[in-house]
Amino acid sequence: MAKIIAGFASSHVPAIGAAIDNKQTNDPYWTRVFSGFEHSKKWIAEQKPDVVIAVYNDHASAFSVEMIPTFAIGCAAEFAPADEGWGPRPVPVVKGHPELASHIATSAILDGFDLTICNKMEVDHGLTVPLNLAFGSPDAWPCPVIPIAVNVVQFPPPTGKRCFDLGRAIRKAVSTYRDDLRIIVFGTGGMSHQISGPRAGLINSKFDKAFLDGLTKNPKKLAAMPHLEYMREAGAEGIELVMWHVMRGALDDKVKELYRFYTVPASNTAVGHIILQNGGGNSPKKSKNAKKVAPKKAKKPTRKAA
């Protein structure tokens, strides 16, 4: 029987992908960000997941204003990197798991949770940047990935509770899959940031850290947070955090926080990361940089966050 062993949540800042692609990870501006994921790369290499279910949002690559599914699941055998305006990222093609993806879609839909089935879909930085942060830059990703796209770009996005419930539906589906698979669920996006308007550049570290606490200790209360509070406290693009609720809903009620990392800035956003293991109490390992939020002066990257 398949089982979900852990959740892995992280920001998916496109400038992080640019730093990787342009061999800038050791530059002064980026050293702190990438050092915060060294522990995570070692951890996930030890876990050797058979499948990753990656919850992310598309940035007008696979979808557009002409067609915007609230929730979509990739059921294809592979997903090519999307051209986001400067050519596809030089990362491996993402290999899917059509059998498990179709099983999840069937289980969720027959239980009344509608998913859009995508048998062809390109994936952008929302998915590939977290894969880099978890697995580095291999010639091929070490396991199949099932993409689950959530609309957080066009109003109205789903509520945190609806995302949490989707996680519950995924958990149920996985528990009834016949093969013995070890699965890690990724939640991506966030944390607080706003890329336009009078509050462009907003970062609310107090809110971000409270969100990380709530994700571990009181996820149902956290999932009830209304859209307006995300907008007010975390900025317009802070709404991406609802995707972390899908990951959390897929886990057990009680989890063990294995690791967290938080720093600013990366482009014009905060970078957050947490690993939650099913079962147990809370004794998190924190990055030595987790409390260092004042950046050193350095040349800023040219790409903007999205």
| pLDDT above 80 (res 297) | no
Q: Token pair of 268, please?
A: 């014009």
Instruction: Tell me what pLDDT residue 280 has.
Output: 59
3-state secondary structure of 16: helix
Contact call for residues 192 and 238 (beta carbons, < 8 A): yes
Task: Supply the angle between the helices 14-21 and 125-135 in degrees, to the nearest 10.
Answer: 60
Distance CA 99, CA 77 (A): 9
> Would you place residue 294 in the very low, low, confident or very high pLDDT band (cuts 50, 70, 90)?
very low
Predicted confidence band of residue 13 (pLDDT cuts 50, 70, 90) = very high
Tell me what pLDDT residue 299 has.
44
In tens, the pLDDT along 42-79 reads: 999 999 999 999 999 999 899 988 999 999 999 999 99
Write down the catalytic residue from 12, 97, 103, 125.
125
Measured CA to CA, the distance from residue 114 to residue 108 in angstroms comes to 7
The tokens describing 120, both together, are 């062809």
Known active-site residue 59: no
Q: Which pLDDT score, from 0 to 100, does residue 291 have?
A: 44
The pLDDT of residue 286 is 56
pLDDT at 279: 78
Reported as type and span, the H/E element at residue 100 is: helix 98-110
Q: What would the mean pLDDT of 151-171 be, rounded to a whole number?
A: 96
Q: 254-277, pLDDT tens digit by residue? A: 999 999 999 998 998 999 999 999
Is 3-286 assigned to CATH 3.40.830.10? yes
Domain boundaries defined on the chain:
3-286
273 is catalytic: no
Tens of pLDDT, residues 84-140: 998 999 999 999 999 999 999 999 999 899 999 999 999 999 999 999 999 999 999
Task: Report the Cα 192 to chain-centroid distance in Å.
Answer: 14
Q: Which of 193, 227, 245, 273 is catalytic?
A: 193
- The full 3-state SS of 28-88, as one line of letters, equals CCCHHHHHCCHHHHHHHHHHCCCEEEEEECCCCCCCECCECCCEEEECCCEECECECCCCE
The mean pLDDT of 224-253, rounded to a whole number, is 96
Alpha carbon distance 152, 158 (integer Å): 8
